[in-house]
Amino acid sequence: MITRNPAGAKKPVTIETVTADSYRQAKDRLRDAIARLGEEGRFRLPSEAELSTALGVSRATIRSALQSLQKEGRIRRLHGQGTFINRHAIGIGANLAEASPFIDLLEQAGYRPGVRTLDQRVVALDQELAASLELPVGDRALRIERVFEANGEPAVHSVDYVPANLLGDHPEERDPRRSTFEFVEVGAGLSVCYSVAEVRPVLPPRPVVTALDVKRSHPVLRLRHTHIRANELPVAVTVVHVNDDYLRFSVIRTYLDQ
Amino acid sequence: MITRNPAGAKKPVTIETVTADSYRQAKDRLRDAIARLGEEGRFRLPSEAELSTALGVSRATIRSALQSLQKEGRIRRLHGQGTFINRHAIGIGANLAEASPFIDLLEQAGYRPGVRTLDQRVVALDQELAASLELPVGDRALRIERVFEANGEPAVHSVDYVPANLLGDHPEERDPRRSTFEFVEVGAGLSVCYSVAEVRPVLPPRPVVTALDVKRSHPVLRLRHTHIRANELPVAVTVVHVNDDYLRFSVIRTYLDQ
């Protein structure tokens, strides 16, 4: 459901052009390095210059990767003291502040992940959706209902609403196997920049009871995302219900200005 | 329950000493400035130098405040392009990644906030608590059970466990009106640096049903915090149940390395 957005990273930066790939590789390798250092009981990271040399990527890329890891709460940076690993944050699986695809989260949790599209159709926006998308009530949107599976069992129910005017002609003919954001990014060149997600504990509504095969009395985590693109306009709404028997989120809450 | 930790901010930084007060003031004033700019439809922030002059605080302080706001998802910084306001993130009330005291969150939500201590006693650590606190099973801890109120109605149930060895002699004689972290910080000079919180939707256990005056079938948000201090050792566990009729959390999920 969620894909990283390379658009901004392809723009020129102060020193050089950072491609999404080198950035992602640097971040993955930094993660590995952090895990290794943590296991060895070393919680202070080498300098940006040393990391740049060791991983063979530019300092701008290292800096971006460090900023991202800091924002996720994995590391903390103290002026004049260095960069430190938040040891207890290394191991947590599904970080709520980190926008990862459910497929990846389920795989990281040790499951064989899968996804099924239950329904795809064009709907008229009701008042609540229209307000979130800053569009008139009654405007058309593509509604995509999917289930993410863990070892073939339904674990996450997801409904995306994407304004039809972002999808060009005949939105209902889109390939249902492609991700919603692939539609939006590839189809309309409008990339998701951040999402605001309301986090609620709820009893599953009827369609979720059926789709996730849970009891009506089984509480689930409801995440209602409004996805915002770089021009600050909302681009889509995604309402997710998570059966936390399969996927349990954590969040790093930091106190100190780091 | 949660207090900011000024310890790190009092240490020397690269350029000068940043005190917790000037930092907090700068952050509050930056927040105000951001809200004003947002209302005027201006989403790009002035430079660090301009903000430093306008708010009358050092650039080091401005930089710390900007980093903190960035980590909370309120702003995004793009190399070579500037700092931008995440417009849709300004208005959200209770940010899950931002560690604010419940008293403040309830006040921001428009309630007259209050807190009541239900119980305070010394307990022996069970296996789960001992594992989180990295202490032997059976070690003593101070257990503090409290309710945070919204206009006199119970809204949040909180239980803190603080190892007795951090509290000096006679932990049971502590003033129950003082916050847990005040105990730990003032009493033992060990400051909380970050917390890892597991986020779960649950049906309220029996004591929470009573304390929050909710039905057993009313799902609540359970946040189980392990608080970590600067030396990377766990310092306390707090288990919170939130009635989201009163307090609803959101989280900013960012995609781009900003």
pLDDT digits (tens, 9 = 90+) for B196-207: 899 999 999 999
A152 pLDDT above the threshold of 90 = yes
| Nearest residue of B to residue A68, measured between CA atoms | B257
Of the given ranges (A135-139, B145-149, B189-193), which has the lowest mean pLDDT?
B189-193
The answer to ipTM > 0.90 is no
B12 pLDDT above the threshold of 50 = no
Residues of B with Cβ-Cβ distance to A258 under 8 angstroms:
8, 67-68, 71
Tokens of B128: 């789960």
List phi, psi (to 5°) of A125: -70, 130
Of the given ranges (A168-177, B92-101, B242-251), which has the lowest mean pLDDT?
A168-177
| Nearest residue of A to residue B61, measured between CA atoms | A257
Shortest CA gap B69–chain A (Å): 9
Quickly state the pLDDT bin for A228 (edges 50, 70, 90): confident
Residue B31's SS3 state is: helix
Quickly state the pLDDT bin for B208 (edges 50, 70, 90): very high
> Quick one: CA dihedral B228, B233, B235, B241, positive or negative?
positive
Distance of CA B82 to the CA centre of its chain: 28
More confident residue, A147 or A45: A147
Q: What is the pLDDT of residues B58-74, one digit of tens each?
A: 888 888 888 878 777 77
Comparing C-alpha atoms, which of A33, A35, A26, A31 is closest to residue A56?
A: A26
Pairwise CB contact (< 8 Å): A256 & B4 = yes
A169 pLDDT above the threshold of 80 = no
Residues of A with Cβ-Cβ distance to B252 under 8 angstroms:
97, 194-197
Residue A146's pLDDT is what? 94
| Nearest residue of B to residue A132, measured between CA atoms | B88
A106 pLDDT above the threshold of 80 = yes
Mutate to test the interface with A, among B88, B192, B217 (most CBs of A within 10 A): B88
Angle of helix A59-71 versus helix A20-39 axis, rounded to 10: 60
Q: What is the pLDDT of residues A57-82, one digit of tens each?
A: 888 888 888 887 877 777 887 767 78
Q: Which position has the token pair 């990014």?
A: A185
Residue B113's pLDDT is what? 93
More confident residue, A166 or A119: A119
Quickly state the pLDDT bin for B7 (edges 50, 70, 90): very low
Comparing C-alpha atoms, which of A105, A101, A102, A23 is closest to residue A69?
A: A23
> Quick one: CA dihedral A231, A236, A239, A244, positive or negative?
negative
Nearest by CB to residue B254, choosing from A79, A99, A257, is: A99
A258 pLDDT above the threshold of 80 = no
More confident residue, B209 or B38: B209
Q: What is the pLDDT of residues A7-28, one digit of tens each?
A: 333 333 223 344 556 677 777 7
Note every long-range contact of B152-155, with CB atoms under 8 Å and residues 24 or more positions apart, other chains counting: B152/B112, B152/B114, B153/B213, B153/B246, B154/B211, B154/B212, B154/B213, B154/B243, B155/B102, B155/B106, B155/B111, B155/B212, B155/B242, B155/B243, B155/B245, B155/B246, B155/B247
Contact A45, A87 (CB under 8 A): no
Query: Any idea of the CA torsion for B57, B60, B61, B66, to the nearest 10 degrees?
Result: 120
Pairwise CB contact (< 8 Å): A194 & B60 = no
A112 pLDDT above the threshold of 60 = yes
Residue A66's pLDDT is what? 85
B11 pLDDT above the threshold of 50 = no
Q: HSE on the CB side for A16, CA within 13 Å? A: 13
Residues of A with Cβ-Cβ distance to B248 under 8 angstroms:
198-200
Residue A211's pLDDT is what? 97
Residue B176's pLDDT is what? 55
Q: What is the pLDDT of residues B122-168, one digit of tens each?
A: 999 999 999 999 999 999 999 999 999 999 999 999 999 999 887 76
Tokens of A210: 């059926």
Show the domains of chain A with their CATH numbers: 8-91 (1.10.10.10), 97-250 (3.40.1410.10)
List phi, psi (to 5°) of B68: -65, -45
**Mean pLDDT computed over every residue of chain A:** 80
Residue A232's pLDDT is what? 77
Mean pLDDT of B178-195: 65
